[in-house]
A and B are shown apart, each in its own frame.
Chain A
Amino acid sequence: MTLAIATRPVSTQAMRIAFISACLHTVSPAGLFLSAPYAESSFALVNMSGYYLYAVGLRAHYTGRAKLRDTAIVLSGLLFGVAATLRSNGLLNGLIFCYDLITCFITSLRFGDLIKDLRKSVFVVIAGSLLGIGFIYPQYLAYGVFCYPSESRYQRSWCANRVPSIYTWVQAHYW
């Protein structure tokens, strides 16, 4: 993935940096959590794959290949959605898409090429929505399980919150 942002043709320095980065990840301070069956390693895999596809997409944007850009960005949004399902801090990757939308908006205001920018923005919005779905889906499931009272279950206290999120409540109550 490092090579995706490196120069072309790939210098030996870039290959060394790619190798060293991979080694650093292996000995990362989260050591135990990467080896044990926690979500960290899967999150790292999906997150980095998402970043890789995003880098491919951005490179395709600057070399003018629109279809590759669009598919790569939507796929990266899908992967970020999976990452957000695995760990909720994956939601922050949506900021990348927001950054894109803002810069797109600013450049289209300046240079006025609205149609092309609109098309690009549509795909960025699709990607961001996939990410948001990945974040909201587990909470939606939890809401369905815990917030509809029946004879055997009572409604939980967090169901009446402004944003009925099980994540924030679990963080606050059990952590």
Chain B
Amino acid sequence: MVRKSGTEYLYMGTSSLLVTALATTNDQEANDDRNVGFLRYWTLSNVPLFLLAAPVLYFMTSSALWTSALHGNVSNPSAKDSAFTNAEPCWVSPIGMAVARRLAVPQFVLGLIALTTYHVQVVTRISSGYPLWYWWLASRIVDQRPVRLGKWDIPMKTVVRWMVLYAFIQAGLFAAFLPPA
């Protein structure tokens, strides 16, 4: 299992680099105009936007890394689809863990590209189509485990409140044609 997650990281890294390389355009003038391009968005005036996008980026990377920590025995396909009998019964079946691992790749790469190349606040919008981080949050809600951020424990109530609040804030800012769109 450890070797598998190692190759997964390698795969994520190379694929994200490739996609970033392909996503940049030739037209240097157009690039300079609008601050899109590798690391071009990382200016001091854009720091608040990075702060706005930071929670979602954290969720997306955490959920992607969560999949690599899921235990199970996928290499044995004849094993029935049952919860693995260990200390903590996991709601995800072994095959489901394989699915989740695969789903982690586009989500992680998206987060990485959004961080480096896109206007980063867009990630709060486009992350709505990717289910993995919802599962991660939901399983933490059901287990009543808070999100750990270094020393701090952020309870799930706060997370959900932030999600609802940000939906409204983003709506207001977008209607006023301000950046976080």
Bound complex: CA A158 to CA B96 (Å): 43
Q: Does B65 contact A (CB under 8 A)?
A: no
Report A-chain residues with C-beta under 8 Å of the C-beta of B27: 157-158, 161, 169, 172-173
Residue total for B at the interface (Cβ-Cβ under 8 A): 65
Number of A-B contacts (CB under 8 A): 192
Q: Does B125 contact A (CB under 8 A)?
A: yes
Report B-chain residues with C-beta under 8 Å of the C-beta of A171: 25, 34, 36
Report B-chain residues with C-beta under 8 Å of the C-beta of A51: 99, 103, 131
B128 touches A5 (CB 8 A): no
Q: Does A140 contact B (CB under 8 A)?
A: no
A172 touches B34 (CB 8 A): yes
Report B-chain residues with C-beta under 8 Å of the C-beta of A64: 77
Query: A: which residues have CB within 8 A of B?
Result: 1-2, 4-8, 11, 13-14, 16-18, 20-21, 24-25, 27-34, 40, 43-44, 47-48, 51, 54-55, 58-59, 62-64, 83, 87, 89, 92-93, 95-96, 98-100, 102, 157-158, 161-163, 165, 168-169, 171-175
What are 22 pairs between A and B in contact, CB < 8 Å?
A: A5-B93, A11-B83, A14-B91, A16-B142, A17-B139, A18-B138, A20-B141, A21-B138, A24-B137, A24-B138, A25-B134, A27-B160, A29-B128, A29-B163, A40-B128, A58-B95, A92-B110, A95-B105, A96-B106, A162-B26, A173-B33, A173-B34
